[in-house]
Chains A and B, each alone.
Chain A
Amino acid sequence: MRTLQIDFAPRGVKRMLYSARPLTAAMALAGLLLCVCGLLTMAWLGQPATDGGAAETPMVVAKPLPTDGPKVAAQKVSVSAEQAEAINATIRRLNLPWSALLDAMEKATPASVALISLEPDAKRNVVKGVAETRTPEQMASYIGRLKQQPFFGHVVLTHHEAASDEVRPNAKGGEPIKPLRFEFEVQWREAAP
């Protein structure tokens, strides 16, 4: 049978310490000793190696660290123009506003438009997209909807064609569907700093 957890003694740290069983107390003491050993080992490993051996070690440990002494100047690193450009390009890619971009895209895209790909160009703040619709009217309407999104600036239709090589059967039994494939470029607005 398991024990009954009924005790009217007021709870507190002293009570917890005093009511610990010998085995529990021994394990806690062992844990404490391990922690102390670990700290001492870390402190020992963190000391700089000296050739002088044991005679020099206490001097290094006992010497207080300068708190208000001369500050060490940060090492200057020179970066070439190419390197700076590469770094900035990487930063721009990392800073792409994916969440806002996808939100705006989702709001503008109706069910009649199949969005095939999106390729952002962080340098120009432009995303290139490829999509398909059934009719030119749906395509024009989609471009209009993109322009209405406050996150987007310029929207340009760069290319469109009837994808004659991909004739798909009509589910309603009519004539086969020839999708209209088009490409566009959307420039997004920089967020206010």
Chain B
Amino acid sequence: MSNVLRIGLSRRAVTVVRTSGWLRTRTELIADHHFPAHADPLDQLTTELGGVLADPRCAGARLRIVLADEWMRSWLVTPPQNVLRLEDCVVAAQARFQALFGEAVAEWQMQADWDCVHPFLVCAVQQRLLQGLQDVARLHKQVLVEVAPQFVVAWNRWSAQLGADAWFGVMHEGALTIGALAPHGLRALREIQLSEPAIRDQRQLQLLLKREAVRLNVAAPTAIRLCGEIPLHWVMQTIDGLAFSRLDRERPAPNLPRSAGLSLALTGLR
């Protein structure tokens, strides 16, 4: 826990928070930089991050990077019935990538929660982004301890409280990544960009979830557990048969101002 830099990376901003302490976590905001709209986010990201890591307060810290789900391509793969080795699952995941996105997987790096029995989640990130992060970390002699998408980090933080009775949702800058759950784990994953009316009126989320349930051919959810940057006016109670609950009720860093980048960077902090 001691001296960790938690970095939130989205296409619009880079946020760096330093956490330290073993029993009582102290947080300090190092940077919350927004990129110009016309700039290439990958170049901006490595430049900005390099500048932030040169700060003396970042020296000797370990890096935990949370990537906004917009950097990620995520999909679920049903393992082949005659699967014998891990390579069979890898080939199935690559074939699914090509079918879904219509391009070769060579420029992407894939990581998955491999499972030879149940459908498993696969995530892919551009090699260029990962290489840039590794170069910046090497330049400043820092160790990359974790680089993971926000949905995965949030899932691992709250996995003990998740069950098949409710769906799980992570929100960031108006985008909601929802996971439909089954007893064995994740059944399906969807990303929805919420419109202004949907954010304004919480009831519309129920209609969106029903639509997704029909698309996935599963029963509509009766409860959803949320975390991330939830609109402040949303109430955590049952509305029209859908029970809302928030997992990160207690803000991990109440001393810092609210922002989307901060929420991203502190995802998974206990």
Segment of A1-9, A153-161, A168-176 in the binding face: A1-9
- The binding surface of chain B is classed by DSSP as strand
Whether the Cβ atoms of B113 and A6 lie closer than 8 Å is: yes
Whether the Cβ atoms of A3 and B148 lie closer than 8 Å is: no
Partner of A8 from the list B147, B160, B181 (CB cut-off 8 Å) is: B147
Q: Is B269 an interface residue (CB 8 A)?
A: no
Count of inter-chain pairs, beta carbons less than 8 A: 60
Which chain B residue has the least Cβ–Cβ distance from A8? B147
Alpha-carbon distance between A122 and B254 when the two chains are bound, in angstroms: 89
Partner of B145 from the list A3, A4, A5, A19 (CB cut-off 8 Å) is: A19
Give the size range of B's interface with the partner.
20 to 34
User: What 1/0 mask marks residues of chain A from 1 to 27 whose CB sits below 8 Å from any chain B CB?
Assistant: 111111111100011001100100000
Partner of B159 from the list A2, A14, A19 (CB cut-off 8 Å) is: A2
Contacts of B152 in A (CB 8 A): 4, 6
**What is the interface of chain A, defined by CB distance below 8 A to chain B?**
1-10, 14-15, 18-19, 22
Seed contacts A2-B185, A4-B186, A8-B148; 20 additional CB < 8 Å A-B pairs: A1-B160, A3-B155, A3-B159, A4-B156, A4-B159, A6-B111, A6-B112, A6-B123, A6-B149, A6-B152, A7-B111, A7-B148, A8-B111, A8-B147, A9-B147, A10-B144, A14-B143, A18-B143, A18-B145, A19-B146
**Can you give 9 A-B contacts (C-beta < 8 A)?**
A1-B162, A4-B155, A4-B186, A6-B121, A6-B149, A9-B65, A14-B143, A15-B144, A19-B145
